[in-house]
Structure 1
Amino acid sequence: MNNDQQVSKTDAAHHSTDRLIRIFGRFVGTGYLIYLLLLIPNIARSSEVVPGWWTPVTVAVVFGSGFAFGAMTFHPSIAAIRIAGSIAASTFPIMAALWWVAWDGTTFDQAGTFLSVFPGLAALAAATVWHPVPAFVHMTVSVVLVQLTNHAVREPFPRSNIVAEIFFAMMFCTVFVAATLAAVRTGRILDATISTTHDDAARAAAATAREVERERFDALIHDEVMSSLLAVARHGRTPSLARQARSALTHLDELTTGTVSETFSADEALAQLRSAATTVDESIEFTVNEGAPELTEAYPADTVRAIAAALAEALRNSRIHARASHRSVVVELAPSSMHITVQDDGIGFDRRSVPPHRLGVAVSIEGRMRQLEGGSAEIESSAAGTIVRLGWKR
């Protein structure tokens, strides 16, 4: 597998997780914009009591990184989105800690600092791109920092219980952080399940392909090689058998290419029919219309296989039920058509006396030929024997 294929497989394997990260990233970016608009009065108040550099730097860095996170969700690279999310998450506690460096001890109203309003939003950014433990650590540090800051700047105003404030803020933020982590984890599980399913399907497909190839090889050996050798032993060398042998050699060579023919030549069609007949009765009299000129016609492979199966069923019924001493198959091939006649000298049968559960004639012969476009089946039976005529026209 080359690098491009590996990248493509990786991208496909994390499709659900990537989509969730993009959705949450846009939600966080929108949240930063809304909070900025709502907190303009608080930001202005903070700028009056905190050294001049902290407020503009904090607004630019914290809100700017949040906007950048939302904007980066439209970037094709998920790695770039994760980096933007990590920056947005990290700037919040950093700037909250730097407040203590910039603060000169001045106290102001009970509203506190503007950062204390949205620590949970920064924690959502962390939960979107980080694993659970770092995300919860980030949330805890951010909440503690901003709540301690609020507690400090409210003096000499009445203060609430700092521990209660921290725990309340933690509980409020935890709901959203846990939901985000759960959603992203669900995406990862879904991706892992899809990846596992694809791997299992690939292994099953490979196993099926091997089985199909094995069956194809077995069918080729049986249908053409063994059938040709058997026919030579019984009938000697004939033009049709020579062509069939050449066809068998050609198909053996084609095994190395992995190709599967959708059509059969006249010789290949005869090989399929001869194989079907000799599989049921090795001593069958199999006659080919040699009077016709050599055909270059191609016959649909599925059609030939269906006719061969119907032929085999007709011979099988004859062997089991007819008590015949002689059976024969006559094949006539013509451009765009073929006709096969199966005949025996058995006791015959009455179609009306065949039990309903006996489906050999109705399904395996007549039904199979009826499903073929241009297919037909005729059965004549009497005390003198049975004749089954199978036909197909393109």
Structure 2
Amino acid sequence: MNDLAITSLLVLTLFLILGSGVWIGLALSGVAWMGMQLFSARPAGDAMAVTIWGASSSWTLTALPLFIWMGEILFRTRLSSDMFRGLAPWMQSLPGRLLHINVVGCAIFAAVSGSSAATCATIGRMSLPELRRRGYPEAIAVGSLAGAGTLGLLIPPSIIMIVYGVAADVSIAQLFIAGIIPGLLLAGLFSGYLMLWALRHPDEVPAADVRMTFRQKVAESRHLLPVIVLIASVLGSIYSGIATATEAAAVGVLASLVLSGLQGSLDRDSFVAALLGGVRTYCMIALILAGAAFLTLSMGYIGLPRHLAEWIGSLGLPQWQLIVALMGFFIVLGCFLDGISMVVLTMGVLLPTIQKAGIDPLWFGIFVVLVVEMAQITPPVGFNLFVLQGMTGREVGWIARVTLPFFFVMVLAVALIWLVPELVTWLPMRMRG
């Protein structure tokens, strides 16, 4: 069978298994096992055991359950409502009002976690219950969170930028600096879309709270102090060299426990509820991660990513057509692989083509991060969709549908950095000079 036939068979099988109601992690593992058993020489059972164990025991992955637990603590204590009290007065005058807290919260937390899933899960635990309680439509609340959660990959520090920097021999520090302006641009575009949506659906946005003077807004901002201390403790531990990004997640948990204890909003019941909630959410995510890791290995043995990348490289396309083809390629690949695997499996083949076409590897790194972000919200393996499914109980198809406008906002962001490459390259050149 050729690559197209194998890909079509595996895609059809995955959709059939998912449609039958099988758990997503088991569905991914089943398709991976079938692909490896039928189309590669390696024994599928041995590969499955080794890969799932390796994916489940990764040290880097330790940050994810800790950040999720931190989000649960914030959600079950007064810290989340305090964050809303502090941010709400500044958002009330914007069309869409408190929906912008999803974007602002994700942009802030992205500078802490470096993970899209952790950003989405943590901010979602804080914002979705509050938005639901205040009467905001669930569709736009969930969609904006899924889109804004992808900022965890673009705003530094970013795990995928480190992987790309190593694979492409590009300065990781330069990549981090290059991601700042596109990250803020994307956050601004998300907020811009929320404003347009609110202007088109004024009846669906709850009425503003009582109008406040500037002095009153500043006074209400004191409720942000615990969250600012929490973020400062996580970021400070990283940039001072006290803790790695993974260890900083434990600092965040400790700080959230101390702050909620000082507030008097943490008791035995809320502590146990937060711990169990974090365990349940992470177990769901870990099963999907394990299945995705095995699917990645299976695809690697079959050779599909490499063959597709070689085919694109052989077309001899001009720059803009090459970028459009690669965007489609990564989005399709994102239906089966996680972002890090996409970079690792394709960069060796694609980079010579990129360099031959005269595309700046630094710019291309930010482009790759953006299109990998897009893959985070595309079914069937859009990871942010699974995180939100675990939190909301909604079907993945419904979440993907309400997230679709934010997917097109990200397409617009890619177009903007293509038309104005200085959005990526200006700040690194300025810092270097």
Into which bin does the TM-score normalised by the smaller protein fall?
Answer: under 0.3
Q: Larger % of helix: which?
A: 2
**TM-score using structure 2 length:** 0.21
**TM-score using structure 1 length:** 0.22
Higher relative contact order (CA 8 A, sep 6+): 2
Q: Larger % of strand: which?
A: 1
Bigger radius of gyration: 1
